[in-house]
Chain A
Amino acid sequence: MSRHRDVRNINVAGKMFQALGNETRLISHSHSDELDDGAVSDGGEEDLSPQEYEQLMSGLDHIRATVGSQEQSGLSDKEIKDTLYHYFFNVEQSINYLLEAQTRKIAARERKAAKEREKAEKLAQQKKAAEASAKLPPAKPKKATGAKLSGASTPVRSTDIRQLDLAGLNLDDETVLPIDEPPPKITVAREKVLEEARKQLEGNADKKTVSLVVIGHVDAGKSTLMGRLLYELGRVDDKTRKAHERASSKIGKSSFSWAWELDGTTEERERGITMDIALQSFATPRRQITILDAPGHRDFIPNMISGASQADCALLVVDAAVGEFEAGFERGGQTREHLLLVRSLGVSQVVIAINKLDQVQWSQARYKEICKLLRPFLIQSGFHPSKTKFVPVGAMAGVNLVARDGDEAQALNAWYSGPTLCDLLDELEPPTRDLDAPLRFPVANVFRTPSSVIAVSGRVCGGLVQVGERLRIVPGDETAVVKAIESEEERLEWAAAGSNVTLHLTAVDPRHITIGSVLCPPTDVVPLVTSFTARIIVFDIQVPITAGTSVELFHHSRDVPASISKLLATLDRASGTVLRKNPRVLAKSMSAEVQITLRSTTVSGPTARAQPIPLEPFSVNKEMGRILIRRGGETIGAGIVTELN
């Protein structure tokens, strides 16, 4: 951190700025062909207006922010305690920094948002740029040295033309929006937090966090397995367990006693069925795991979707009992639908727990049979074989969850020596998180804490949120201030993308927040739409999709009536090329581009108007750009938003 202070000291030395500014332009101009987005809007370089001075200040602020990551990536190992004057003479390094400074100045946070995600795109674009201006690269080093020797102004004009050329190539696909810089105090804190968050995600800090959605056909034993696992891991004490056992046997449902840990409401307990997502967490040796226990009953798939959209990985529980597995796996069974749903929501790792093997006398043949049936379907649904793991378990008796000892496990030990469920969960890899994106927080639940504070829970889908931040609630014109961030009964100072947290809000009326609202920074608001274009994959459906099909659109925790207003084109599933324009119908397992329009919630003639929902294209924010389409209680398709209109 000390080098930051040094850099800042230099900033105050006003005299330096002119030289520095010129240097910035000069070098960055001469290297702009390296930039993916060469949109440079610098004016004349001679006189620095107050605005430019300020821009410089903010630009330098950003340099400070970048330095950390640059150093981590090993670009510069030299101590940067020297002044920026030094960079003047040390071309290699100043290029690195000032390049960064320039791009940041232009694209500010937009740039940040796109950075991680578009790295791959960048590469391609760089190649393109290199081709387009093939004669430029040789000139580069010369220009740089020239700058060093002759000072500031001379080479700039020549590069300006190139700049124009580059801009003409339309290489900058990012739309540059004017962005208000947040107050400096928060910026500093934010950068610090960003760095901290990055460190944590890279795993240098404590355990990596993973969220896991538990899915499977109704009565496969999802809640029971989770209840038992929590007990085995010491998250549930004996007293609670005994209480559940007593109470459940009292109403004649003693087999559900383990599930009661997660099925909290009276109705769920009476019916012996999970109806809504239950959130719990536990720690394995190397992971901090948040589990979302999803309901298996088909009527509660909306709740399941809400949970699955908050998860990184999935645990599929299948019932090994004869006839039960088949019921769950055949058409219309939830094993199938859930797998497709989580895959469409971006989950790529799945652990398959084959449960209730005790009911088939721990038959290895049955285990193998089920694996054999599931494998092709998993591959077909888009799960990579290396990311799918199978494990035999007995949830009720607690066999092979954490350990495999005791009498119950004898039969299993005879043929199974692989990892336990807990071992597999310990190996789950969290996906890369997008910290630079603007904050998106789709609200999954709104409630009041016992101390009557308004709280919202959900998952951070990009960026990070800090205590004290003011957030905009979309849809609506209201804002709220984050009073506290809570995760697993712990208070946090900040929460980064991928974490499942509860935010305590103040300065807001609860009526303005509903399940499905999205919280975002006031400077970077999620767009609201009633109509958009999406690329979808049609699932195994019997009635084809026509233009005008009425569907329910699912996006995070929100479901709204919509209709597929236009069938734009059918696409090749592999390459994405257009097969046929304006198709008449979409049959099963087709890939297509369609236009989806939200429907008004009232049945009435021409005046009806639909309420818009917050949505972003997939290219902007992956998690905000995924949609699911259902019709008549059946998921008919999943897709990504390509364009808002």
Chain B
Amino acid sequence: MKLLGKHLDKDGSGYVTLRPDDDEDIWHLYNLIQEGDRVRASAVRRVQNVSATGSIESHRVRLNLTLAVARVTWSPSTAAAGEAASFSTDASTSTSAPAHAATLHISGRVTSENPHVKMGAFHTLDVEVNRDVRIEKDEGGWDSIALGRVEESCVPGRGAEVAAIVCGEGTATFCLLSQHMTMVMHRLEVSIPRKIAANSGAHEKGLTRFYSALFTSFLRHIPYSSPTIRAIVIASPGWVRDAVFDYIMAEATRTGNKALLSTRNKFIKVHVTSPHVHSLVEVLKSPEIASQLKETKFAREGIMLDKFFKMLGADEMRAWYGPVHVALAADRGAIGTLLISDDLFRASDPIMRKKYVQLVEDARQKNAEVLIFSSMHESGQQLNQLSGIAAILTFPLDVEVVEAEEREAKEEEERRKQAEENGEDVNAG
């Protein structure tokens, strides 16, 4: 993303103009734009003119519109295709649409005067790559989280990506991992007859069919020769990954695919325990990957989430989750690492968002490490399942004790209030 212009007031109002470069930037925009913001972007609108004689003329006009955002919808490019593919249990392959582009739709009322569109008319903007977008927020809108995201998204050369194939016998999922997103490019399902003592031929035939289907999908969906791909991970339980790797290399040699052969050292084979996509978490915390990619955001997230779960097992009093509990821990300055999902900042309720922003700022101030998980990663999804917020504490705290304290404090407060009222009464009397 490119930052084209920025004008902010001290009170956190102002605007930022951005130009998204790729799908991930669209995701950033989705996280930046909130209900109530004003967004200006180029749009195409069909305009109808009624002439004096009553004939209607309609034509398309390209124009810049400013909307007061009412709704933002995001659709990851591959979700629809992936969904479709997963359902079809076609014997050979299930193909997804080759074109993949994330889309962001912003709908709302037009707020600026325009020769073609009336004020207050509804419009839906389609935000696309390489089209400028100006986001204007009201007072307090540009908080530290939002600005942090702008900054983060505009760092150049962060395009390091990892391609991953999570496979089992007969199933394979092709994913691309970037800093903030995991994109499922393609899912492959080939039904392989299981071994029968009598005729193992069918099983082996099925396997060969699976490997060849996997190879073609690999060529189509994984940009293996792109310099931004840092590693190509093949993950599977059992020994499927070895077989897959050998097959890919053998085919590359056979077909003389030099580009593929030269990427040989980018391949990493990782053992995972299940062929489902969610084993990507296991991929990220495996030592092979962790050492190579430890500075990337998604690897850090994976490792930290794992650490949280381990802490939950080892010392329950130092691993807290849930918004209420984490807030209590924050009050006591106990937070060592805060894990929070970007889902929470997308809350449509600005008060909620402000609360979480405050929580993050407080934690940062107290030198706690704050990780904002992207819910487009598997680790973020898992954190979302866990209410979206969790914390590893620096010292153990018993939830029940803390809750009891809170209750007491509340009662105390009430008593004091009552006493005050009584006191006033006395004074008045």
Contact = CB atoms under 8 A, between A and B. Distances in A.
How big is chain B's contact interface, by range? 35 or more
A585 B309 CA distance: 11
A333 interface: no
Interface string A413-445: 000000000000000000000000000000011
B195 interface: yes
A519 interface: no
A547 B389 CA distance: 13
Given A264-B197, A605-B79, A448 B202 contact: yes
A113 to B, nearest CB: 29
A539 to B, nearest CB: 14
B277 A603 contact: yes
A450 B76 CA distance: 44
A267 B91 contact: no
B179 interface: no
Interface of A: 261-262, 264-268, 271, 275-280, 297, 299-300, 302-303, 444-448, 450, 457, 510-512, 514-515, 541-544, 546-550, 552, 559-561, 563, 565, 584-585, 599-609, 611, 630, 632-634
Contact of B273 (A279, A544, A633): A633
Nearest to A546: B386
Given A547-B385, A561-B278, 19 more contacts: A261-B197, A264-B198, A265-B195, A299-B237, A302-B274, A445-B194, A447-B196, A514-B89, A515-B194, A542-B313, A547-B387, A548-B386, A552-B276, A584-B399, A601-B173, A603-B278, A603-B377, A608-B83, A630-B273
Interface of B: 74-76, 78-80, 82-83, 86-87, 89-91, 173, 175, 182-184, 187, 191, 193-200, 202-204, 237-239, 243, 273-274, 276-278, 280-282, 309-310, 312-313, 316, 321, 375-378, 381-382, 384-387, 399
B200 A602 contact: no
B278 A511 contact: no
A445 to B, nearest CB: 4
Contacts of B194: 276-277, 303, 444-445, 447, 515
Contact of A299 (B90, B91, B238, B312): B238
A549 B203 CA distance: 34
Contacts of B83: 600, 602, 607-609
A560 B197 CA distance: 27
Contacts of A271: 239
B385 A563 contact: yes
Contacts, number: 161
B347 to A, nearest CB: 13
A412 B343 CA distance: 67
A446 B386 CA distance: 38
B91 A510 contact: yes
B308 to A, nearest CB: 10
B76 A605 contact: yes
B316 A633 contact: no
Contacts of B79: 602, 604-605, 607-608
B386 A603 contact: no
Contacts of A609: 83
14 contacts: A302-B274, A457-B196, A548-B385, A548-B386, A548-B387, A550-B281, A552-B276, A565-B385, A585-B312, A604-B76, A604-B183, A630-B273, A630-B274, A632-B282
A601 B200 contact: no
Given A448-B202, A514-B89, A544-B316, A278 B197 contact: yes
A543 B310 contact: yes
Given A515-B191, A542-B313, A561 B276 contact: yes
A599 B277 CA distance: 11
Given A264-B197, A278-B197, A548-B382, A603 B280 contact: yes
A265 B239 contact: no
B25 to A, nearest CB: 16
B399 to A, nearest CB: 7
A265 B382 contact: no
